[in-house]
């Protein structure tokens, strides 16, 4: 309930995602054992996007499957169909004897935190959120580890690239639901465009997000691709030719709109969309990558070795926990000066000479 209250305060859009579908049945869980025969069981619960979302749920699952292959553990993956599934799914995994339960996404905080308090002998991890009390003050649990990402740094580079590649001088970003793990991308994107304008005496406009006001465009969900397609069409009708959707599978709707328009580029998020969404590879300028799979693998590896820690992991450009993807098919289209400037900005961020801030930053 605490998480629902917080999301409502942040964006007022959560009501669109609260259709109760009942708890996911136990046979939705997929259990597989690695070759090593370890009796360690690592388990994962997705949010509503599911493990084929071409985004952060999929990345998390890939990290868990890598742990199965390399560490010889048993894994169980359970997909959530609705918000009401989160608690029952986590409880189900605890009852199955999972040694480590990982929740993917900010929305699972309540379910993971409640289970961690109730089951001190089980270890937990949560992607994209820390833990807090009823008044939203940060708290630490000895058996629960946050996996966080300062994606505003890489999104800054993507915003700079978008501004440099736009022919119309109009770029856009939008989100699924206004959560810190979403708006942090949008903050970095807006700052990257502003930096490009300052460096080049340009006036590229950002549609869909006002960083100062922390207000912008959201579809209200992470599932309905038609919502992303319609919102993107609205931007395109206003002359926008580069769009960064931060909305999980909903973002693929924006990619469909861009592909239909024929002269619009997309910036992916969480994973390299050139690889994970090949149907749209020809319009993917770059992507803002969160190395969720690596963070998940490292967490499982530490837990298997008996070295689990509640200390938060924070992915940054410096530790390679986040990055910007290659330009792939746009490699020859991106001016060398623009590419060089982006590399220089990345080096400055890593060196600490340039700070990209966000109200949602984790560092």
Q: What is the pLDDT of residue 242?
A: 98
Quick: pLDDT tens for 235-280: 999 999 999 999 988 999 999 999 999 999 999 999 999 999 999 9
Q: What is the pLDDT of residue 223?
A: 86
Query: In terms of DSSP bridges, do strands 138-139 and 100-104 run parallel, antiparallel, or are they unpaired?
Result: unpaired
Q: What is the pLDDT of residue 27?
A: 40
**C-alpha–C-alpha distance, residues 162 and 286, integer Å:** 9
- pLDDT class for 135, splitting at 50, 70, 90? confident
Q: What is the pLDDT of residue 22?
A: 31
For residues 137 and 359, the model is more confident at: 359
Q: Are 232 and 28 in contact (CB under 8 A)?
A: no
For residues 21 and 354, the model is more confident at: 354
Q: Is the pLDDT of residue 123 over 60?
A: yes
Fold topology of 2-150+293-315: Rossmann fold (3.40.50)
Of the CATH numbers 3.40.50.720, 3.30.420.270, 3.50.50.60, 3.40.50.2300, which one belongs to the domain with range 152-290+322-351?
Answer: 3.40.50.2300
List the chain domain ranges.
Answer: 2-150+293-315, 152-290+322-351
Q: What are phi and psi of 172, to 5 degrees?
A: -145, 160
- pLDDT class for 47, splitting at 50, 70, 90? confident
Quick: pLDDT tens for 169-207: 999 999 999 999 999 999 999 999 999 999 999 999 999
Quick: pLDDT tens for 274-299: 999 999 999 999 999 999 999 999 99
Task: Quote the crossing angle between the two packed helices 2-11 and 109-118, to the nearest 10°.
Answer: 160
Q: Is the pLDDT of residue 150 over 80?
A: yes
Section 324-337 average pLDDT: 98
CA R_g for the chain: 20
Sign of the four-CA dihedral 229, 78, 112, 14: positive
Q: Is the pLDDT of residue 229 over 50?
A: yes
Q: Is the pLDDT of residue 151 over 50?
A: yes
At residue 363, the 3 state secondary structure works out as coil
Domains 2-150+293-315 and 152-290+322-351 fall in the same CATH topology: yes
**C-alpha–C-alpha distance, residues 360 and 363, integer Å:** 9
* Nearby residues of 23 by Cβ (< 8 Å), 6 or more positions away: 84, 85, 88, 89
Section 133-159 average pLDDT: 93
Q: Is the pLDDT of residue 61 over 90?
A: yes
Quick: pLDDT tens for 7-46: 444 433 333 232 223 333 344 566 666 655 579 999 999 9
- pLDDT class for 137, splitting at 50, 70, 90? confident
Of 238, 276, 82, 62, the C-alpha closest to 255 is 276
Distance from chain centroid for Cα 295: 13
Judged by average pLDDT, the poorest of 52-56, 141-145, 248-252, 270-274 is: 52-56
């Amino acid at each position: 309930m605490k998480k629902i209250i917080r999301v409502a305060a942040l964006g007022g859009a959560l009501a669109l995602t609260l259709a109760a579908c009942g708890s996911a049945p136990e046979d939705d869980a997929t259990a597989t054992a690695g070759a090593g025969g370890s009796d360690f069981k690592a388990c994962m619960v997705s949010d509503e996007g599911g493990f084929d979302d071409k985004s952060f749920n999929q990345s998390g699952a890939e990290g868990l499957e890598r742990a199965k292959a390399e560490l010889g553990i048993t894994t169980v993956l359970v997909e959530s169909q609705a918000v009401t599934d989160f608690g029952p799914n986590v409880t189900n995994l605890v009852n199955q004897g999972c040694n480590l339960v990982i929740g993917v996404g900010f929305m699972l905080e309540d379910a993971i935190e409640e289970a961690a308090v109730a089951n001190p002998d089980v270890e937990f991890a949560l992607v994209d959120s820390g833990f807090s009390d009823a008044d939203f003050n940060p708290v630490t649990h000895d058996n629960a580890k946050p996996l966080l990402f300062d994606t505003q740094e890489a999104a800054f580079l993507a915003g700079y690239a978008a501004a440099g590649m736009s022919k119309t001088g109009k770029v856009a970003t939008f989100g699924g639901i206004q959560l810190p793990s979403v708006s942090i991308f949008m903050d970095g994107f807006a700052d990257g465009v502003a930096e490009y304008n300052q460096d080049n005496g340009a006036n590229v406009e950002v549609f869909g997000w006002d960083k100062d006001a922390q207000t912008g465009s959201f579809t209200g969900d992470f599932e309905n691709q038609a919502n992303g397609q319609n919102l993107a069409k609205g931007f395109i009708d206003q002359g926008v030719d580069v769009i960064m959707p931060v909305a999980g599978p909903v973002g693929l709707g924006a990619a469909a709109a861009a592909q239909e328009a024929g002269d619009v580029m997309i910036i992916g998020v969480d994973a390299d969309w050139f690889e994970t969404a090949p149907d749209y590879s020809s319009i993917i300028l770059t992507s803002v990558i969160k190395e969720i799979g690596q963070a998940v693998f490292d967490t499982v590896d530490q837990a298997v070795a008996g070295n689990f820690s509640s200390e938060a992991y924070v992915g940054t450009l410096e530790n390679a926990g986040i990055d910007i993807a290659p330009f792939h098919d746009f490699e020859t289209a991106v001016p060398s000066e623009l590419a060089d400037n982006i590399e220089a900005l990345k080096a400055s961020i890593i060196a600490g000479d340039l700070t990209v801030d966000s109200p949602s930053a984790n560092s």
